A and B are shown apart, each in its own frame.
Chain A
Amino acid sequence: MRTLFLGAREFAPFVDLLIGSTRVIGPVAKRQKFVFAELESSGDLRLDYDVTILPPKKVFFPPVQPLVCFDAASVRDCIDPVPTVLLGVHPYDVKGIDMTDLLFRERHADWNYLGQREATTIVASGVQSVAPRAFWASIGTEIAPVGHDAFLTAIDGGYVFEPRTPKGVALARHGAFREATPEEIAAAERANAEAAERCSRALPYTSAEIAERVRAAFRDEAMWDALALDCFSCGSCNTVCPTCYCFDVRDTWNLDQTSGTRSRYWDACLTREFASVTMAGGEKENFREHHQSRFRHRFMRKAAYLNEKLGGPACTGCGRCAAACTADIADPVRVITTIMEATA
Chain B
Amino acid sequence: MSDTHSASPDGEHRGLFVPREAKIIHTSRPTASEKHFTLQLASGEPLKFTPGQILEVGVMGYGEVPIGIASSPTREASFDIVVRTVGRVTTAINEREVGDSLWIRGPLGHGFELEALRGNDVLIVAGGIGLCPTRSLVEYILDRREEFGRFTLFYGARDPLQLLFTEDRVAWRGSADVDYFETVDRADATWSGNVGVITTLFHKTTSITPDTRVVICGPPIMFEFVLRELDVLGVARENIYVDLERRMKCGVGKCGHCQINDKYCCIDGPVFTFAEIHELEEAI
Contact = CB atoms under 8 A, between A and B. Distances in A.
> Which among B6, B16, B17 has the highest number of chain A CB atoms within 10 Å?
B17
A75 B256 contact: no
Given A108-B3, A278-B86, A75 B60 contact: yes
B93 interface: no
Given A108-B252, A108-B267, A109-B3, A75 B18 contact: yes
Contacts of A110: 6, 16, 252, 254
A298 to B, nearest CB: 10
A205 interface: no
Contact of A260 (B6, B13, B60, B246): B60
B150 interface: no
Nearest to B1: A108
Q: Which of B246, B256, B260 has the most CB of A within 10 A?
A: B256
Interface stretch (B61-69, B133-141, B208-216): B61-69
Contact of B86 (A77, A246, A282): A282
Given A260-B61, A276-B247, A305-B262, A111 B16 contact: yes
Contacts of B19: 68, 75
Contacts of B18: 68, 75-77
A269 interface: yes
A280 B61 contact: no
A287 B15 CA distance: 29
B13 A111 contact: yes
Interface of B: 1, 3-7, 13-19, 21, 33, 60-64, 84, 86-87, 103, 128-129, 219-220, 245-247, 249-250, 252-262, 267, 281-282
Contact of B60 (A77, A262, A282): A262
A144 interface: no
B21 A75 contact: yes
Contact of B281 (A219, A245, A250): A219
Nearest to A244: B256
Nearest to A277: B247
B254 A108 contact: yes
A75 to B, nearest CB: 6
A293 to B, nearest CB: 8
B contact face: mostly helix, strand, loop, or mixed: loop
B13 A251 contact: no
Interface residues of A, number: 53
Contacts of B282: 287-288, 293, 297
A248 B61 CA distance: 15
A278 B87 contact: yes
Contacts of B103: 75
A57 to B, nearest CB: 13
13 contacts: A75-B103, A77-B15, A77-B17, A77-B18, A107-B253, A107-B267, A108-B253, A110-B16, A245-B256, A251-B62, A253-B61, A264-B255, A278-B87
A276 B259 CA distance: 11
B90 to A, nearest CB: 8
A201 B262 CA distance: 29
Interface in A61-80: 67-68, 70, 75-79
A70 B60 contact: yes
Q: Which 8 A-B residue pairs are closest in the complex by CB-CB distance?
A: A77-B15, A246-B256, A305-B262, A108-B252, A111-B13, A67-B17, A70-B60, A278-B86
Contacts of A306: 262
B257 A275 contact: yes
A1 B250 CA distance: 41
A111 B257 contact: no
Interface in A90-123: 103-104, 106-112, 114-115
A274 interface: yes
A300 B262 contact: yes
B16 A112 contact: yes
A70 B61 contact: yes
A246 B257 contact: yes
A300 B261 contact: yes
A245 B254 contact: yes
Contacts of A250: 63
Interface in A263-284: 264, 267, 269, 274-282
Nearest to A273: B247
Interface string A150-188: 000000000000000000000000000000000000000
Nearest to A308: B262
A285 B128 CA distance: 15
